[in-house]
Amino acid sequence: MHIIKTIVAIGGGELRLNETLPIDKKIVELSDKTNPKALFIPTASGEPDGYIDTFNRIYGTALGCTTDVLKILTGTPTDAEIKEKILSADIIYVGGGNTAKMMDAWKNRQIDRHLMEAYNQGTILSGLSAGSICWFEYGHSDSFLEETGAYHPVKGLGILPGLHCPHYNERPEFDALMASQEMPALAIENNCAVVFQEGQYKIIKSVDSANAYFFPSKNHGGSKKVLVNAEFESLKNLFD
């Protein structure tokens, strides 16, 4: 059986206000199942009940998934239970919040390894903000904004190449940063997402005016490029 590896990176938007609902619907459709099992990982936000309730309402009640949640900060799952939750899911959705704290917590419980295994077995990986940064080599993160007053790169799982900036419409400083950046970057505005599948990518949106942009590294020159393809194109066209 051919395994299709899929990641959906969402730039931002309020899940509780249904702002990303058309994108969320597409994620569920990608599973090609009538009642997929969707696992929510809210580590980055500290696992608040309200966020979990929102996920259950959207992905469960509205979109017909069987929902589950992985809590490692406010819960006490065993290593075996963590692995089983991750590897039995059809869809994994990672919520927003503090990316750096999330990545540290994941490593302590080997969640990063289990997510890689899930990806390789065909589980759809998705998420918003911190939940989109985590799939890339690095993310333009506000994890240390309160302490330092600046955005800093945070290392992700590295499944996808380059640097990722979520909430791009709220982060005008990113363009100046990219003028001296050694690696290429993908910036995604709120209410826009990029689907990565089988070495290809396409854009999906919940608001027509929302966009995603590709920034070449300084060594390759050129300016940022708006990505408009609603059908799959080769990822090599961007990162090679």
Count of domains in the chain?
A: 1
Give the chain's count of helices (H) and strands (E). Answer: 9, 14
Instruction: State residue 147's pLDDT score.
Output: 65
- CATH assignment of the domain containing 46: 3.40.50.880
CA terminus-to-terminus distance, the chain: 29
Residue 29 domain-assigned? Answer: yes
Strands (DSSP E) contained in 61-113 are 66-69, 91-94
Residue 112 domain-assigned? Answer: yes
Residue 219 domain-assigned? Answer: yes
Residue 216 domain-assigned? Answer: yes
Residue 1 domain-assigned? Answer: no
Alpha helices in 179-228 (DSSP H): none
pLDDT in tens, 121-132: 999 999 999 999
Res. 181: pLDDT tops 80: no
The gap from C-alpha 152 to its chain's centroid, in whole angstroms, comes to 18
pLDDT in tens, 207-226: 999 999 999 876 656 688 99
Question: Mean of the pLDDT values across residues 37-42?
Answer: 98
Report d(CA 232, CA 235) in Å as an integer.
9
Report d(CA 60, CA 57) in Å as an integer.
5
Residue 78 domain-assigned? Answer: yes
Enclosing domain of residue 86 = 6-239
The pLDDT confidence band at residue 182, using thresholds 50, 70 and 90, is confident
The pTM of this model reads 0.95
Question: Mean of the pLDDT values across residues 174-193?
Answer: 89
Structure tokens belonging to residue 50: 């309200």
